[in-house]
Amino acid sequence: MVKQDTDTYHHSGQYQPWRALIASETCREVETMSPNPTDQRLARHDAPLVTFNPGIIDETLSLPIDEAVAVLCDSGPLDQVPGYNGSYERELLAKAHATLDAALRYHDEAALHQIHRALFLLYDLHVADAGSPRSEHQFDPLLTRLRREIERRWLDTETSRFAHVPRPADSDELVAALKRLWSEHPASCHPLFDFLEKEASKEQIIAFFTSDSALNIRFFDLLLFSMVGSRIEVRKELAQNFWDESGRGEPARSHVTLFRRLLDSVGVGQAVDNHAATLDWQGLAGYNLFMLTALNRRHYFKLLGILAMTELLDPPQYEKLARGCRRVGLGTANELEYYDEHVTIDVVHGEGWLMNVIVPIVEQTPSASADILVGARLRLQSCAGYYDALYAKLNALR
């Protein structure tokens, strides 16, 4: 395992940045922990911080941007690094922009994965366990700037993919527009779910569960983010969603617990990154879209649109999935409760979210409807891309 000198950093107040460990040794040791170093690096979120010699800073500039971010997130106090706010910052941002060009202009798949993995790691700093050394970097200025640069260009690219639509005149028109968007979008009737219902093998269905893990397990926090800074009038509905998500007073019935139980029952088990390392860039992008809008106050109304689409999308899709699961022999030991619960409860949540969250907000602030619609369209767009990629991936497992 990786050697540590974390006491020096955490408790003495006399941290000597370049004294302790040699980063190249650390990286080599980490890579030997797993046959797949990428998986291991996504998975080691709660590993103690490692310190490094100054040379590591130059080394990160020769790494892909996601690998550089992974090293920085796992490092000691970054503001003590020579050049951190000068030449190093310029070069790291230039690398990020070059990767963004390849990803967003030229649709380079490897660059798209690097960008979304980097964002995933940067977002993870904001939901890290308080005991995790990574929490030290939550508001690191360079990591924050890097995140904002990636977010800005990614969001510009995504919003440029759909045409401008006139703003609805009132809340009734907005609700009708949201329902129309959902029912007419290819994501709402994607063949992936017909495949899961009628054709997929047990192994393919289990691969779907694995792919669903990171977002399903993070959903508790996402609902909480929707409650932060919320209008008083909508809190009853938000609290009801949160109460249902957390098991209505029974920890064993919390949705995270139900989903983790499913993963255990089918042999997938648990991972510290909730299996995010298995995601391709479309899966990471879907997750990142939630985190982008949850963590940036100015995108709060987009988050509400994203969550509205999520509640509308899930019930019919999960109904097909649950039928497919039973077709291959799953469900005899109540292991499908996570999906069964969402089939019924998200019908209530979907309508409640529209009438008791979106309507009151738009009646108070009519201009919010534009961002709510943008969020809804972003979610449908990212879902469609994710479903396409996952459908192809599951088919390749045949």
Binding site for Fe ion (CB under 5 A): 245, 255, 346, 349
Q: Give the angle subtended at the CA of 378 by the CAs of 145 and 115, to the nearest 5°.
A: 40
Shortest distance, position 258 Cβ to Fe ion, whole Å: 8
Minimum CB distance to Fe ion, residue 130 (Å): 24
Query: Between 76 and 315, whose beta carbon lies closer to Fe ion?
Result: 315
Least separation in angstroms between CB 317 and Fe ion: 13
CB of 261 to Fe ion, least distance (A): 14
Nearer to Fe ion, 344 or 364 (CB): 344
- Distance in angstroms (rounded) separating the CA atoms of residues 221 and 244: 13
Nearer to Fe ion, 245 or 371 (CB): 245
- Between 64 and 350, name the residue whose CB sits nearer to Fe ion: 350
- Tell me phi and psi for residue 50, to 5 degrees: -115, 145
190 versus 255: smaller Cβ distance to Fe ion: 255
Which is closer to Fe ion, CB of 6 or CB of 240?
240
Q: Looking at the DSSP assignment, which residues form a beta bridge with residue 50?
A: 75
CB of 255 to Fe ion, least distance (A): 4
Nearest partner of 118 among 136, 92, 141, judged by Cα? 92
Q: Which two tokens stand for residue 298?
A: 């100015």
Q: Which is nearer to Fe ion, 237 or 346 (CB)?
A: 346
Give me the least distance between CB of 346 and Fe ion, in Å please: 4
Shortest spacing between CB 341 and Fe ion, in angstroms: 7
Least separation in angstroms between CB 272 and Fe ion: 21
In the complex, minimum distance from the CB of residue 337 to Fe ion, in angstroms, rounded to a whole number: 11
Question: CB-wise, 78 or 234, nearer to Fe ion?
Answer: 234
Nearer to Fe ion by Cβ, of 113 and 349: the residue is 349
Instruction: Give the 3-state DSSP-derived string for the chain, with helices as H, strands as E and coil as C.
Output: CCCCCHHHHHCCCCCCCCCCCCHHHHHHHHHCCCCCHHHHHHHCCCCCCECCCCHHHHHHCCCCHHHHHHHHHCECCHHHCCCCCCHHHHHHHHHHHHHHHHHHHCCCHHHHHHHHHHHHHHHHCCCCCCCCHHHHHCCCHHHHHHHHHHHHHHHHHHHCCCCCCCCCCCHHHHHHHHHHHHHHCHHHHCHHHHHHHHCCCHHHHHHHHHHHHHHHHHHHHHHHHHHCCCCHHHHHHHHHHHHHHCCCCCHHHCHHHHHHHHHHHCCCCCCCCCCHHHCCHHHHHHHHHHHHHHHCHHHHHHHHHHHHHHHHHHHHHHHHHHHHHHHCCCCCCCCCHHHHHHHHHHHHHHHHHHHHHHHHHHHHCCCHHHHHHHHHHHHHHHHHHHHHHHHHHHHHCC
